[in-house]
């Protein structure tokens, strides 16, 4: 059998994974660790043998993120790290559009995804053909595309943005094209949130992340009542009223930086479940309240299919 279950939790494995265990032990049970550690040790050995690196997205579970990730972070940060790396094989512990983004920045490298069916509701809300139709409808307007899209969509795009720089990119595109409206696709909520922060008119698409769209302003109010001291950090793919009710809006990288640099006593991360688990391993002084909306696509990536 080649799924990794043949590896035992030997004293060598225990020794090789001891430092990692100390990092994750508040968030992984000993029973789980005895199953995970042998695979982690074997995957880390294989990486050296094959000159491979693993890119672990912020939404991976802690045994992947901390156990086998050589680079961790958001999709753009990971793709840039992969391009800088000498490794010829890149394993993307993330979803399909992320692997494509890595391949765009590293065309000469082999980029592998452990499960090609690991998709994304937002990325699959739009195709390259849709973008061509939008361009026909609004000729002369620049197309700004969120990094959370397929390569097919990026290929039809004038410029890409992240949630952190969307406002600046939209304003710069409007200036360079000499127009007062910009097409910003595919995330409807990101587009609305950008529209609130600029005078440039935004033409949007109705794409949504099925994790972030589920959060409501009532969820935030309830959490504030239950945890009055908690800082509430929300992802820009959430509805506008959620961001208004939050203390801070930022991408996964911005949320992580916020917690690690400001060390709040108590925090709520309004995003995918694993994000809090991963940051918590590096932020022992912060207490995490954990509302959990799980991304079924990110959870298709496991230690077994990485192996």
Q: How far is the CB of 48 from ligand CIZ (least distance, A)?
A: 27
Does 74 help bind ligand CIZ (rule: CB under 6 A)? Answer: yes
Q: How far is the CB of 214 from ligand CIZ (least distance, A)?
A: 16
Per-residue mark of binding to ligand CIZ, 48-67 (x: CB under 6 A): ---------x----------
Q: How far is the CB of 3 from ligand CIZ (least distance, A)?
A: 28
Question: Residues near 81 by Cβ (< 8 Å), separated by ≥ 6?
Answer: 55, 71, 73
Beta carbon nearer to ligand CIZ, 75 or 278: 75
DSSP string, 7-50: ----HHHHHHTHHHHHHHTTTS-HHHHHHHHHHHHHHHHHHHHH
Beta carbon nearer to ligand CIZ, 41 or 280: 280
Per-residue mark of binding to ligand CIZ, 217-246 (x: CB under 6 A): ------------------x-----------
Beta carbon nearer to ligand CIZ, 32 or 115: 115
Q: Which helix (H) or strand (E) holds 160?
A: strand 159-161
Q: How far is the CB of 79 from ligand CIZ (least distance, A)?
A: 9
Per-residue mark of binding to ligand CIZ, 243-262 (x: CB under 6 A): --------xxx---------
Could you tell me the strand order of the sheet in which 110-112 lies?
71-73, 52-57, 89-93, 110-112
SS3 159: strand
| Site size for ligand CIZ (CB under 6 A) | 10
Looking at 85, 148, 231, 274, which residue binds ligand CIZ (CB under 6 A)?
148
Looking at 17, 61, 75, 150, which residue binds ligand CIZ (CB under 6 A)?
75
Closest by CA position to 146, among listed 182, 210, 190: 190
Please give the torsion angle defined by the CA atoms of residues 53, 58, 64 and 66, in that order, rounded to the nearest 10 degrees. 90
Window 80-139: residues binding ligand CIZ (CB under 6 A): none
Both tokens assigned to 199: 């005078």
Beta carbon nearer to ligand CIZ, 147 or 183: 147
Q: How far is the CB of 226 from ligand CIZ (least distance, A)?
A: 26
Q: How far is the CB of 33 from ligand CIZ (least distance, A)?
A: 27
Q: How far is the CB of 271 from ligand CIZ (least distance, A)?
A: 8
Sign of CA dihedral 5, 7, 10, 15: negative
Sign of CA dihedral 23, 27, 30, 35: negative
Q: How far is the CB of 219 from ligand CIZ (least distance, A)?
A: 19
SS3 183: strand
Looking at 36, 61, 85, 163, which residue binds ligand CIZ (CB under 6 A)?
163
What is the residue whose two structure tokens read 């959490």? 223
Question: Residues near 137 by Cβ (< 8 Å), separated by ≥ 6?
Answer: none
260 close to 235: Cβ distance less than 8 angstroms: no
Sites of contact with ligand CIZ (CB under 6 A): 57, 74-75, 147-148, 163, 235, 251-253
């Amino acid at each position: 059998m080649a799924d990794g279950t043949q590896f035992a939790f030997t004293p060598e494995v225990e020794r090789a994974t001891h430092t990692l265990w100390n990092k994750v032990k508040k968030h992984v049970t000993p029973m789980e660790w005895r199953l995970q550690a042998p695979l982690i040790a074997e995957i880390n050995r294989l990486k050296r043998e094959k000159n491979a690196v693993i890119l672990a997205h912020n939404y991976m579970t802690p045994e992947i993120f901390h156990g086998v990730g050589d680079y961790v972070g958001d999709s753009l940060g990971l793709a840039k790290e992969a391009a800088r790396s000498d490794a010829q094989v890149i394993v993307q512990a993330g979803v399909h559009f992320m692997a494509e983004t890595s391949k765009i920045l590293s065309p000469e490298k082999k980029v592998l995804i452990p499960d090609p069916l690991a998709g994304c509701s937002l990325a699959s809300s739009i195709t390259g053909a849709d973008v061509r139709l939008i361009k026909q409808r609004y000729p002369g307007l620049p197309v700004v595309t969120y990094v959370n899209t397929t390569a097919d969509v990026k290929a039809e795009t004038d410029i890409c943005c992240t949630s952190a720089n969307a406002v600046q990119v939209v304003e710069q595109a409007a200036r360079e094209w000499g127009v007062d409206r910009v097409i910003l696709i595919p995330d409807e909520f990101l587009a609305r949130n950008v529209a609130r922060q600029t005078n440039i008119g935004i033409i949007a698409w109705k794409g949504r992340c099925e994790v972030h769209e589920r959060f409501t302003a009532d969820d935030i109010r309830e959490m504030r009542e239950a945890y009055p001291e908690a800082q509430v950090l929300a992802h820009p793919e959430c509805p506008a009223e959620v961001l208004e009710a939050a203390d801070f809006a930022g991408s996964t990288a911005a949320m992580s930086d916020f917690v690690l640099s400001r060390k709040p006593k108590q925090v709520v991360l309004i995003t995918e479940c694993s994000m809090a688990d991963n940051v918590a391993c590096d932020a022992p002084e912060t207490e995490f309240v954990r509302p959990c909306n799980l991304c079924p696509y990110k959870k298709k990536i496991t230690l077994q299919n990485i192996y």
